[in-house]
Structure formats: C-alpha cells, structure tokens
Amino acid sequence: MNLALLSLAILPGATSDWPLQPRPEVVHGFELPAKPWLPGHRGVDLAGRPGQPVLAATPGTITYAGPLAGRGVITITAGARRTTYEPVVPAVSVGATVRAGTVIGRLSAAGSHCLPRACLHWGLLQGKQYLNPLTLVRNRPVRLLPLTNQQAQPARAPSPVPSGPPSRAADVSPAPPDSNQRTAKLIIAATAALTLTAGLLIRRE
C-alpha cells in the first residue's frame, strides 16, 4: 500500500527536549474540540513512572507551581505561550526562570489521566488557544496514512434471472426462422398459382 507521511509543523522556538526522558510513549494524543465548551483532550498524555523527573520542554518563567483541582500543576510562560505539566510535585517556585531541559518537578501518580498507569499530561497554549504540544519537539512521533481513502469494492453478484413473465420490451424480438420460411413458401405457391392461371387463359384465346 502506498503511504504518505503526515507531519506536524514545527512552531517557532521549537526544542528537541521532551518533558520526560527517555522519549516517552504518547498514550493519548491531542484532540481539540469543535467548540471551546465541548469535551476534548487539550494536550497529550506521556507514559512515565511515579517519581520520574519532569523537564521543562520550553524556556520561560514559572508562573504557577502548586495544587489545582487535586493535582500538582506547573505552568511555564514565555510571552503569549504557556506550557503546562500535571500531575507533578513541583521542584521550582513561581518567578523562577528555567531553560529547556531543566528539572521542574517529579511525576506524581495522584491525578494521573492514565490510571492505573502514571502519565504526564502536557499542554500548550498560545494566548487562549490550545495547541498540540508535540509541535514543540523536532523528533516528534509521526503517523502514516494511505494516500487515498478509496477502499476495494466487493465484487458485485450477478443479477438474478427474473422468474416472472417477460417485460413488454422483451416481446420486441426478431421473428423466428420457421415463420420466415413459411412466409416464403406461401409467396412461392401464390406465384406458381398465378403463373398457371395465366397460362390457361392464354391457351383458351
């Protein structure tokens, strides 16, 4: 099957650092809802283990580090862009400046999106718009899609032979050979009779 490579555009200032090392498995991808109030998955879930170091995927300033809705959350801000990490036990304080790859905390099992497994929910916002955080990494995962969505069509079964009386269109058919032969014989016989009658009249005169 011919395959086409579906890649993601790399955002300006992209980094090769993942928030977990070594490169983690993407357990649940990014699913932006059609409307802001509809359910979706505004980030990606990366497989990890409890206590694993969580790294800053982007440089910036820590603008939040603490509990939120029962789980630890860290936010790194750089201009209009923010990256979020949860559930994390923070190792940094609000106001700290970090580089990409800096350890900002430890992965927590409490509040995991992947129970009973532990995983990091990694989010990205540009202003108020949620984006796919995988666009930040150069060695991002790829998907292979078929070049066409056409699928092989099953072979059509032969049309059944109708069991009812033939249609009117079927009645319009050439005359059978026997009918043509009878017509020819009648014409020959009539011609012979006329010829004989004409001969008898001539003899009488």
* Segment 24-68, tens digit of pLDDT: 999 988 877 666 665 656 789 999 999 999 999 999 999 999 999
Q: What SS3 state is found at 179?
A: helix
Please tell me the distance from the alpha carbon of residue 162 to that of residue 75, in angstroms, as a whole number: 73
Please tell me the distance from the alpha carbon of residue 141 to that of residue 164, in angstroms, as a whole number: 62
Instruction: Specify the pTM.
Output: 0.60
Res 152: pLDDT: 44
Average pLDDT over residues 139-161: 49
- 3 state SS for 121-132: EEEEEECCEEEC
